Homo-oligomer: A and B are copies of this chain.
Amino acid sequence: MSQERIYLDHAAGGWLLPKVQKELLRSLVEIQASPTGGHREGREAREQLEIARKRVADFIGAKSSEDVIFTSGGTESVQSAIRGWGASVRQGTIYVSEIEHPAVESAVRRLGESGFQVRRVKVDSTGRFKWDGVKVEPGAALVCVHLAHHDLGTLQNLGEAKHFADRVGAKLFVDATHGAGWVSLDVEKVGADLVALSGHRLGGPKGTGALWIRSGTPWTPWMEGGRQEGDRRAGTENLAAIVGFGVAAEDWKKSGDDFRKDVAEAQKVLAEGILKEVPSAKLHGSKLGLERSPNHLAFSFAGLEAESLALVLDRVGLAVRGGSGCVTREMRIPPGMKGIGASPEESRALILFTLGPEIDLGKISKAVDLVKEAVQRLTSILPS
C-alpha cells in the first residue's frame, strides 16, 4: 500500500507527544534505580518522580502534589478510586449512570455485590446525566461521573454533578480518563474528591495513570504491598513512564489551548465533511461545541455494520474504531448507545473517530473522502 496511513483511533492508543518521547527515551536509559533507594541513584530517581507529580498536580489544578498518586493507567486509577472508597466506608450508596466505561461499571458492580446500594442516574438523548428524580439514600455516598464519554464523546456537566453530590452529602468521583486535556479540568473548581487520569490519552506513555485524592477523602489503598507512593500505591514505580507522563501534563498545561483549538478545527472539518458527504451518517452524543470532547466523533452509518465499514476503511488506509472503544470481541450494544436510546441498528453501526494532538487537516479531508467512498461501496452491495 503506497498511500500514507491516516490513524484516527487515538483514544484506544495514540502517539506520544514529541517532548514526551524525547524525555521517555532519555529516562529509560538514564534512570533505573527505584525512588525508594536511600542512595544517590535513589535520591535522583525520587527527585524525578516528584517533579512529575508536581506537573500532573499543576495540570489538574491540584493545590498539593501530595494528593496525586501514580498508577499503571486509567483502569487502575478508576478501580482504585471506587473500590478504595468502598473499602473505606464499607457500606453506602453509589450514584452512577448506566453508560459508564467498563472499568467504572465493574467496580460499581463489585461494590453492589458486597452490599452497597447502586442508584442509577438516567441520561438524556446526548448522554448527559439527568439528576432530577434520582432516589436519594441516607449514609455514605459516592457520585461517579465521567468527564467525557468513551464512546459518545459527550461531556458531562460537572457543576451539576457537584451540586447533586453536595445535596446528598456524597463524595464526587470524576473519571477523567477520557476528556482530560481535551477539556480543561480544575479539580478544585469542580470540587471533586477523587479524579482518575490516563497518561496515554494525554500523549504520555502507556502504563501510566494518576489518581488524585482530595486530602481527607475516605479511601483505602487498593494495590497493596510495598510502601511506594506514600503507602497509597504499592509496586516499583514505572519511573521513566511517569517522567514522560509529567512532561505530557506540562505540555498540556502550556499548549493545551493550542491542542484544543487545532483539534476542534479538525473535528469540525471531519464531522461536517461526513455529514455533508454521507447522507446515511448520524452523529451520536452531543453536537459539536461545549458539550462534546473536541477529539471525539461517534457516527453511525445507517444500514451498515461497523466492523465491515471499519475493515474497508482500514484497507484503504484509514484506521478507526468499529464499535465501542472497549468491546471488540463480540458485537453487542454499547451501553452508551443504549442509554441515549439509539436503535440496535445504529448501535451496531457505531464508528469512533478519535483525534490526537498532532493534526494534519489534509489527512482529515482525505478521511472524509475515504469514508464517503467506503460507505457508498458497502451500501451498493447491500440487498435492497
- Give the B-binding residues of A (Cβ under 8 A): 5, 7, 9, 12-16, 21, 24-25, 28-29, 32-34, 36-42, 45, 71-76, 78-79, 101-104, 106-107, 110, 198, 200, 205-208, 223-227, 231, 234-241, 307, 310-311, 313-314, 319-322, 326-329
Q: Given contacts A28-B21, A41-B9, are A74 and B236 in contact (CB under 8 A)?
A: yes
Please report the C-alpha to C-alpha distance between residue A73 and residue B73 in the assembled complex, in whole angstroms.
12
| Known contacts A307-B38, A319-B40; A238/B206 CB under 8 A | yes
Contacts of A227 in B (CB 8 A): 102, 326-329
Do A13 and B38 touch (CB < 8 A)? no
Contacts of A319 on B, CB cut-off 8 Å? 33, 37, 39-42
Known: A33-B319, A207-B238. 6 other contacts (CB 8 A): A12-B33, A38-B322, A106-B224, A107-B224, A225-B326, A227-B326
Q: Cβ of A103 and Cβ of B236 under 8 Å apart?
A: no
Interchain CB contact under 8 A, B45 and A32: no
A28-B24, A225-B103 are contacts. A236–B13 as well, Cβ < 8 Å? yes
Q: List 24 A-B contacts (CB under 8 A).
A: A5-B41, A9-B33, A12-B34, A13-B33, A16-B32, A24-B28, A25-B29, A38-B314, A39-B314, A72-B207, A72-B238, A75-B223, A79-B224, A79-B225, A101-B225, A102-B225, A103-B224, A110-B224, A206-B237, A206-B239, A206-B240, A206-B241, A207-B207, A241-B241
Q: What is the CA–CA distance of A39 and B198 in the complex, to the nearest angstrom? A: 23
Q: Are A12 and B236 in contact (CB under 8 A)?
A: yes
A24 to B29, CA, bound (A): 10
Q: Is B45 touching A33 in the complex (CB atoms < 8 A)?
A: no
Question: How many angstroms between the C-alpha atoms of A42 and B14 in the bound complex?
Answer: 11
Assembly of this chain: how many copies? 2
Residues of B within 8 A of A322 (CB): 38
Question: Which chain B residues border A223 with CB–CB below 8 Å?
Answer: 75-76, 79
Pairwise interchain contact B13-A37, C-beta atoms closer than 8 A: yes
Contact of A236 among B75, B238, B241 (CB under 8 A): B75
When chains A and B are docked, how far (Å) is the Cα of A78 from the Cα of B234? 11
A103 and B226: CB pair below 8 A? yes
For A38, the chain B residues whose CB sits under 8 A away are 307, 310-311, 314, 321-322, 328
A312 CB to nearest chain B CB (Å): 11
**CB-CB < 8 A to A321: which residues of B?**
37-38
Closest chain B CB from A77 CB (angstroms): 10
Find out whether the CB atom of B28 lies under 8 angstroms from the CB atom of A16.
Answer: yes
Tell me which residues across on chain B come within 8 A of A310, comparing CB atoms: 38-39
Residues of B within 8 A of A39 (CB): 7, 9, 310, 313-314, 319-320
- Cα distance A72–B222 when bound, in Å? 14
Q: Which residue of B lies closest to A40 (CB)?
A: B314
A101 CA to B226 CA, complexed, in Å: 8
> In whole angstroms, how far apart are the Cα atoms of A167 and B326 in the complex?
43
Nearest to A73 among chain B residues (CB) is B235
Inter-chain contact B25/A207, CB cutoff 8 Å? no
Query: Shortest CB–CB separation between residue A206 and chain B, in angstroms?
Result: 5
Q: How far is the CB of A309 from chain B (nearest CB, A)?
A: 11
Q: Specify the chain B residue showing the minimal Cβ separation from A206.
A: B238
Contact of A37 with B9 in the complex, beta carbons under 8 Å:
yes
A325 smallest CB distance to B (angstroms): 8
Which of A25, A101, A224, A320 is packed against the most chain B CB atoms within 10 Å?
A: A224
